[in-house]
């Protein structure tokens, strides 16, 4: 198990980067999946700011495993040109951070309409991301997220088959919240999974520490490791934190437990729960 590498969305411990670094060190993690920096989304910071963050991480023996970008978290009917520009900037941010992975999504589809009707447009837009990123040493990693085209295992599989360059981020809690059986989803997608998000949820949708929900997290983690998987990002979501509202689709809220006194406590609980599970 010495080759296991564990990272986290450290913005769930604190908004400011210095406190995020302390939280990572306190929990003996290898680095972060960077999402918000001093209250600003990672895709909106400057390249200079990214370089400053990297210097701080280097000084503490930490790294950015993946850029947890919001790319692909717009409606499939929204104008794409500005979003493509945002993606190009995110590529420059990843380069400055020396991160070789970018997490992205496959676009929200209109409610009360069949997502399958938007398959071609989704594949085309994701394909443009792939084309633009060819000049960069980066892997594009698609996360299953409720409300987007790729919120089911079946549609995630369509994306990976159509665009082999896009790898998978497997998030058990998100599948639970979509009413999917995680073991079935795992069997369908395990050959495409590049890394895992450690997040668990109850059938009601409430997020709980890893191993305490219906996500079959321990079994899936066990098999992922047996297949040679080594990389995990802890995504606590056990308490409301600064920046959470920017992760939501307008009009929707995540079902989160509010049982912890502060963000650092919730972050540590999430890290310890995964350590116990391992």
Q: What is the pLDDT of residue 260?
A: 84
Q: What is the pLDDT of residue 148?
A: 98
Superfamily of domain 5-277: Divalent-metal-dependent TIM barrel enzymes (3.20.20.150)
What are the pLDDT digits (tens) for 22-48? 999 999 999 999 999 999 999 999 999
How far apart, in whole angstroms, are the C-alpha atoms of residue 169 and residue 194? 6
Integer Rg of the chain from CA? 17
Is-contact 164 158, C-beta < 8 A?
no
How far apart, in whole angstroms, are the C-alpha atoms of residue 94 and residue 133? 11
Q: Percentage of residues in the chain with pLDDT exceeding 90?
A: 90
How far apart, in whole angstroms, are the C-alpha atoms of residue 201 and residue 257? 10
Is-contact 168 123, C-beta < 8 A?
no
Beta bridge partners of 207: 201, 256
How far apart, in whole angstroms, are the C-alpha atoms of residue 238 and residue 157? 29
Q: What is the pLDDT of residue 112?
A: 85
How far apart, in whole angstroms, are the C-alpha atoms of residue 68 and residue 71? 9
What are the pLDDT digits (tens) for 41-83? 999 999 999 999 999 999 999 999 999 999 999 999 999 999 9
Q: What is the pLDDT of residue 240?
A: 60
pTM over 0.95: no
Is-contact 167 100, C-beta < 8 A?
no
What are the pLDDT digits (tens) for 214-269? 999 999 999 999 999 999 999 998 986 555 555 555 555 555 555 788 999 999 99
Q: What is the pLDDT of residue 251?
A: 53
pLDDT at 201 over 90: yes
* Angle at which helices 47-59 and 17-26 cross, to 10°: 30
* Angle at which helices 217-226 and 263-277 cross, to 10°: 60
Which DSSP letter does residue 75 get? B
How far apart, in whole angstroms, are the C-alpha atoms of residue 233 and residue 223? 16
Is-contact 68 33, C-beta < 8 A?
yes
Q: Which band of pLDDT confidence, cut at 50, 70 and 90, is reported for residue 189?
A: very high
């Amino acid at each position: 198990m010495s080759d296991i590498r564990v990272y986290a969305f450290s913005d769930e411990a604190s908004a400011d980067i210095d406190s995020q670094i302390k939280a990572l060190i306190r929990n003996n993690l290898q680095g972060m999946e960077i999402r918000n920096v001093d209250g600003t989304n990672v895709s909106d910071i400057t390249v200079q700011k990214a370089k400053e963050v990297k210097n701080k991480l280097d000084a503490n023996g930490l790294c950015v495993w993946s850029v947890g970008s919001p790319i692909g978290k717009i409606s499939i009917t929204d104008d794409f040109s500005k979003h493509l520009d945002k993606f190009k900037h995110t590529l420059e941010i990843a380069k400055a951070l020396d991160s070789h992975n970018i997490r992205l999504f496959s676009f929200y589809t209109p409610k009360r309409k069949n997502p399958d009707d938007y398959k071609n447009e989704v594949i085309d837009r994701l394909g443009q991301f792939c084309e633009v990123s060819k000049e960069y040493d980066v892997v594009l990693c698609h996360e299953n997220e409720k409300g987007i085209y790729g919120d089911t295992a079946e549609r995630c599989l369509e994306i990976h088959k159509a665009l082999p360059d896009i790898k998978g981020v497997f998030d058990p809690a998100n599948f639970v919240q979509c009413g999917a059986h995680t073991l079935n989803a795992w069997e369908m997608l395990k050959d495409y999974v590049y890394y895992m998000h450690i997040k668990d949820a109850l059938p009601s949708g409430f997020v709980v520490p890893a191993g305490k929900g219906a996500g079959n997290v321990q079994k899936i983690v066990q098999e992922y490791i047996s297949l040679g998987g080594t990389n995990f990002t802890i995504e606590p979501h056990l308490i409301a934190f600064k920046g959470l509202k920017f992760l939501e689709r307008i009009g929707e809220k995540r079902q989160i437990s509010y049982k912890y006194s502060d963000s650092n406590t919730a972050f540590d609980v999430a890290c310890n729960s995964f350590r116990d599970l391992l």
